[in-house]
């Protein structure tokens, strides 16, 4: 197999999803979802399974979309409710608010860490003239990236607040990623995209991005021997990833992005 590489003679910018790629928050999200869904499912259905339910139905999607998709997989329909619902109320918004409260309490207590290999890659890309952007479906995307101390490594960030203001659909629609490419003033075909979730890989392929890199951390959710879970390396490749890496430290950078001349 050839060495995994970003060739900056073909790629001028790289867009990074945040959870599980830039910030080590995917496990926190999964744990918060399990806490909320298990409480709701008690007496209704089997417990929430991080190895399958989270990775297949929730990971990478906007919060409310993830709730709808997961509940549909269990044959459960809830009223939508609204933003003023009590957290934990049996509505889509109620479950979403409960999850948000649990997750952000974890952030407040423990903080947010960035993956060192991602930080090193960002430094290398910027040293070689590539533009970079962070994308998050979360309304807290800016706060999380800022808390991790890496905001200065991105030219811009597009998050759930932008999606709400612009009425952009969530993944697997490529709208958020394409908005980042538009703001970078780089055509999607010359943008590399780094993702960790199946819906994001689908979105990258639909958006026509020039290089699609999947980060699959086999120990990210306490995986053990047995059938590969949803969102495993094979499935990420099938959904359109050009490269599947267990860590961005495996990736090298070649070439340099030349400055525009008038």
Clarify whether 2 is annotated catalytic.
no
220: closest CA among 184, 193, 245? 245
Helix (H) / strand (E) element for 233: namely helix 233-238
CB 209 within 8 A of CB 192: yes
Clarify whether 7 is annotated catalytic.
no
Query: Which value, to the nearest 10 degrees, does the dihedral of the CA atoms of residues 226, 230, 235, 237 take?
Result: -110
| CA–CA distance, 50 with 61 (Å, rounded to integer) | 15
Active-site residue identified among 17, 53, 59, 162: 17
- Whole-model pTM? 0.88
| Peptide linkage before 157 cis (omega within 30 of 0) | no
- Phi first, then psi, for residue 260 (nearest 5°) are -65, 140
pLDDT in tens, the chain (262 residues): 578 999 999 999 999 999 999 999 988 999 999 999 999 999 999 999 998 899 889 988 889 999 999 999 999 999 999 999 999 999 999 999 999 999 999 999 999 999 999 999 999 999 999 999 999 999 999 999 999 999 999 999 999 999 999 999 999 999 999 999 999 999 999 999 999 999 999 999 999 999 999 999 865 554 443 444 555 788 899 989 999 999 999 999 999 998 764 4
Active-site residue identified among 19, 59, 65, 162: 19
């Amino acid at each position: 197999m050839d060495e995994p590489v970003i060739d900056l003679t073909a790629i001028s910018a790289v867009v990074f999803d945040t959870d599980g790629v830039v910030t080590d928050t995917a496990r926190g999200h999964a744990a918060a979802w399990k806490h909320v869904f298990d409480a709701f499912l008690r007496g209704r259905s089997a417990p929430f399974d991080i190895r399958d339910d989270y990775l297949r139905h929730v990971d990478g999607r906007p919060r409310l979309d993830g709730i709808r998709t997961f509940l549909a997989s269990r044959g459960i329909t809830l009223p939508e409710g609204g933003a003023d619902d009590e957290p934990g109320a049996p509505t889509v918004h109620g479950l979403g608010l409960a999850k948000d409260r649990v997750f952000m309490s974890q952030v407040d207590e423990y903080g947010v860490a960035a993956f060192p290999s991602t930080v090193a890659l960002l430094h290398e890309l910027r040293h070689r003239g590539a533009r970079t952007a962070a994308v998050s479906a979360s309304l807290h995307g800016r706060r999380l990236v800022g808390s991790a101390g890496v905001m200065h490594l991105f030219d811009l960030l597009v998050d759930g607040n932008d999606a709400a203001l612009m009425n952009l659909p969530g993944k697997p629609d490529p709208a958020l990623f394409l908005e980042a490419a538009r703001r970078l003033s780089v055509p999607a075909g010359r943008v590399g995209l780094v993702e960790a979730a199946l819906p994001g890989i689908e979105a990258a392929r639909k958006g026509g991005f020039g290089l699609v890199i999947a980060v699959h951390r086999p120990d990210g959710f306490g995986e053990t021997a047995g059938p590969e879970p949803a969102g495993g390396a094979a499935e990420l490749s099938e959904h359109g990833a050009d490269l599947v890496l267990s860590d961005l430290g495996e990736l090298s950078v070649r070439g340099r992005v030349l400055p525009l001349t008038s």
